[in-house]
Copies of this chain bind each other. A is one copy, B any other.
Amino acid sequence: MNKNRDLDLPLKKDYIPNLAYDSVIFGCNGEQLKILILEYHNTNLFALPGGFVKKNENLDSAVARGLRERTGLDHIYLEQFHTFGDTLRSRPEVMRTLLKANGYEVPEDYWLLQRFLTVAYYALINYDEVQPMPDALSDSINWYSIEELPPLIMDHSVIVKTAVQTLKGNLEKKLVGMNLLPTKFTMRELQQVYEAVLGEKLRRTTFQRKILGLDILARHEKLFSGGAHKAPYLYSFK
């Protein structure tokens, strides 16, 4: 197999053992809430983007680093939501399969085949302003609607479900919705984000009154989209 690719693999000596992180990276295309999913080379295996924590690196920094590598973006809204630590979540045979598919034959005691706990984060980014990049072991990274995910490896489906639940809960409490939009956005776009996250239609007038009442938005010029109707104002987060 492809022995000269070994240098791509993370080295045991550089990382905290038995500990990983995974990121649920949310975007919204105006209709649906979506997340970024990796597809591993030659395997038909799908997974969340993730990585490992360097021995002298903050946990948060490690996740931000991985996110930068996948999205090219900096200063992303990022929030830790749960650490998954069941013994049964680790599936060495899955890891072995995807290493093999990439040309790596590893010994029985290879560090990546051990048990891993993972700290899960969710990130909110602007769907339209990102050019996602696959990692060393995967050949594609794509947006998937949270309603139509491919089967994910290990416990990644549970991680996604937990992320969606957490995001729902934080939407009104922490007002994180605008992180899924560009700096300036219309009230309708914001409402569409809320509807995609909550999974339900909202009443336009009530929504507008509530959001404006929070006094967190600054109003800017109008947006002339070319449509045959009144132009909406643009808003930004204060």
Contacts and interface: CB of A to CB of B under 8 A. Distances in A.
A117 interface: yes
Contacts of A119: 83, 85
Max count, chain B CB within 10 A of own CB: residue among A19, A58, A60, A83: A83
Nearest to A173: B169
Contacts of A55: 115
Number of identical protomers: 2
B86 A83 contact: no
Interface in A7-37: 16-19
Interface in A50-69: 53, 55-60
A87 interface: yes
Given A83-B83, A85-B119, 7 more contacts: A18-B18, A55-B115, A59-B84, A59-B86, A60-B85, A60-B86, A169-B173
